[in-house]
Structures are given as C-alpha cells and as structure tokens.
Chain A
Amino acid sequence: MSSPDDGEQDRGIASDSNERLKERLRKLEQKLEPRDNERGILSEEERLRRSSALGKAFRLSTELVAGVFVGGFLGWLLDRLLGTLPLFLVIFLLLGIAAGFMNVIRAAREMSGK
C-alpha cells in the first residue's frame, strides 16, 4: 500500500534534482558564453570583418561601378529595341549612377551599423 506512494516520492525527488542539475548547467553555460565569444568562431568572423578595410573599399567601389554599368546597359538595350539611340542611354546612365550611389550609401550604412 505504501510502496506506490514511495515510488511517487522518489520520482518527485528525481525530477527535483533534475531541475537543479538543469539550473546548474544553465549557469555554467552563462559563465562559459562570454569566454566562448572572446576567442570563438564568432570573434574570428568579426576580426575578419574588421581587418578587411581592403574588402570594404573594394565592395564600395564595385558597387558604384556596377550601378553605372547596369544603367548604361539597360539604356542601350532599350534604345536598340526602340531605335532611339542616345535618349534612353543618357537617361538610364544617370539613373544608374543614382542607383550606384544608393547602393554605396546603403552598404556604408550597413557596415557602420554592425
């Protein structure tokens, strides 16, 4: 009669110590976390991102050039289809320059934001 009750109590104790173990593990993880960030994968990536001033410069310059190039190409394509050679080339070249500048500003904002 008393044995199932005992079992209940045992299980209660077991789940209780389980909870405590989980709690301790969580605390340990919290303690380890900052150390992991100090020299883990994440900092490696961060370091690469910071050290790559060269990469940033290249990203911004290609962004600008690509805008002009794509704008000019789209304009030239439209002109070829419609037979109005200088018109759309000029318009889209200007729009392409604007798009290039927008991309550069966006990329720069994203870089400084992080």
Chain B
Amino acid sequence: MIGWLFISAAHAAGVEEGGAHHAFNPMHQFIIHRYVPLKIFGYDASFTNSSLWMVMATTAVTAFLIFSMQRASPIPHRMQSLSEVTYEFVANMVRQNAGSAGMRYFPVIFTIFMFVLSLNLLGMIPLPGLGQFTVTSHIIITFALALFVFLGVTLIGFFKHGFRFLKLFVPSGVPIWLLPLITVIEIISYFTRPVSLSVRLFANMMAGHTMLAVFASFVIGLGILGGWVPFLFMVLLMGLEILIAFLQAYVFAVLSCIYLNDALHAAEH
C-alpha cells in the first residue's frame, strides 16, 4: 500500500519519461510499466515489467539448476557444486527448523527461497534497454507470497491435527481468568505473521534501492570533482545490498520453516 502511494506520488510529480522537467526522483525506479495491456473480466492482468522480471527469475533458476546438473559426476565440477551447496543449504535449514517431518515440504521452501533470492539479485543488475526493477520491492508481491505461506501452513496444521491445531492458541499453565485475554492476543499474534513476513522483505528492498538512487543522485550532483566521495560510498552500499538480498531471502525461508514447524508439531505443546 505504501509502495503504491509512492508510485502514485511519483506519477503526480510528473517524472514519467519524456516529461517536460527531468526532476530527479528516487522513487522513479518502482513505477510499473505495462508492456502488453490485457484485461480479464475487468481485472488488469497486463504483462508488466514486474511480470517480465518474474519470468526472468524463474527462467534463470530453472536454467541454472538444469544446466548445472547436466553431466553430473561424483566429483562435482564448479557449477554442479554450486547447485549442490544451494540444495544442502536449504535442506539443512528445513531439517533444523522444521524437523525431518518438514522435509516433506522441502520442494516448496526451496522454490520460495530460490524465487525470492533470484528476484532480489536480479534487482541489482541494470539491463540495457529495460533498466532496473526489483519485484520484491512491491508489497503486493511479498504479501501474496507471505499469504501463500500463511494459508498453506494453516491448512497443513488443520489437516494434520484437526481441531487440536487450535491448541496452538491456548497456552498451557496460564491462570483461568487470564486465559481469554491470552487467547485473543495469541490469535492476533498469529495473524501478524503474513504482515511481518511481507513488510520485512518489501521494506528492506525498497529502502535499499531508494538509498542507492539517492546516493547516485549525489554523484551526479557533485560532478567530477566532488562526486568521488559518494561514488566510493555507493560501492560499499552495493556490497551491503547484495548481502541484504541474500539475507532477506534466507530470513523469509527460515521463518516459513518455523511456521511450518509450529503447524506440524502444534498438538505437542
């Protein structure tokens, strides 16, 4: 919602390409462009730059995994060991946080991790002719992902434990007069999960890329004499942003595992 506000603000400021005044706006990079306008039952289902980057991300991940595992040998070559390390990293994450019962859902967690990671990293690369765009800097994307995890985990919990899953909201060892209050708080706390999960990823990506754009404007503004100082700073910021791209994909996947663990072992509390 906040991202949408910024986008509409950027529109209001008139920073569309070809506008009369080329005022600098660090929010310009978040604007959605419709490449192929499309309407299905009155809903806007256009193919946008966001869709294009998502297609690129899924293609890149699929190509990476397929080509790196072609001619796989017991002694892995460079690309093969890269994809093996990725696999083991996620497998260990699932096993540690959701137990061996959680390994049934490893494909989902792996897909989420790779999708978010590749979107974050692709956002760091400016492409000739297309510019630069970070899909995960839009809250509607991250919220949809988080909602998918939230609904999936809740359904798994109900299928596995039936109505005993609701014991998750009733902690043991609480005095009876406090129990209704605690239960309401627990339920609210459960519903904060998709919000905190999505806001964290979106806020990190948007703040980082806005900061990069602002520092880039300092480089231009200070010119060839003074521009070197913010330029050096930008090199460091790029490193930080790449770290954050990994970190936030990791945090998203780890929290999905922790929620999965709660659903799988709800009745044991």
Contacts and interface: CB of A to CB of B under 8 A. Distances in A.
B188 A74 contact: yes
Contacts of A71: 188
B251 A67 contact: no
A59 B200 contact: yes
Interface string B62-101: 0000000000000000000000010011001100000000
B8 interface: no
B192 A41 contact: no
A9 interface: no
Given A62-B203, A66-B195, A92 B188 contact: yes
Nearest to A48: B250
Nearest to B203: A62
B185 interface: yes
B8 to A, nearest CB: 21
A70 B248 CA distance: 22
A99 interface: yes
Main secondary structure of the interface of A (DSSP, over half): helix
Contact of B251 (A55, A69, A95, A102): A55
B85 A41 contact: yes
Given A52-B247, A58-B204, A102 B195 contact: no
Contacts of A67: 188-189, 192
B192 A58 contact: no
A60 to B, nearest CB: 10
B179 interface: no
A59 B200 CA distance: 7
B186 to A, nearest CB: 8
Interface residues of B, number: 25
Most buried by B among A44, A58, A74: A58
Contacts of B266: none
Interface in A65-101: 65-67, 69-71, 74, 92, 95-96, 98-100
B25 interface: no
Contacts of B88: 41
Given A67-B192, A69-B195, A99 B185 contact: yes
B92 A70 contact: no
A74 B192 contact: no
Contact of A66 (B185, B196, B250): B196
Contact of B188 (A42, A44, A70): A70
A48 B249 CA distance: 12
A5 interface: no
A48 B247 contact: yes
Contact of B196 (A55, A62, A96): A62
24 contacts: A41-B85, A42-B92, A48-B246, A52-B247, A54-B247, A55-B248, A58-B203, A59-B200, A62-B196, A62-B200, A63-B192, A63-B196, A65-B199, A66-B192, A67-B192, A69-B192, A70-B192, A70-B195, A74-B188, A92-B188, A95-B184, A96-B192, A99-B185, A102-B189
Interface of B: 85, 88-89, 92-93, 181, 184-186, 188-189, 191-192, 195-196, 199-200, 203-204, 244, 246-248, 250-251
Shortest Cβ-Cβ A-B pairs, 6 listed: A66-B196, A99-B189, A66-B195, A99-B188, A66-B192, A62-B200
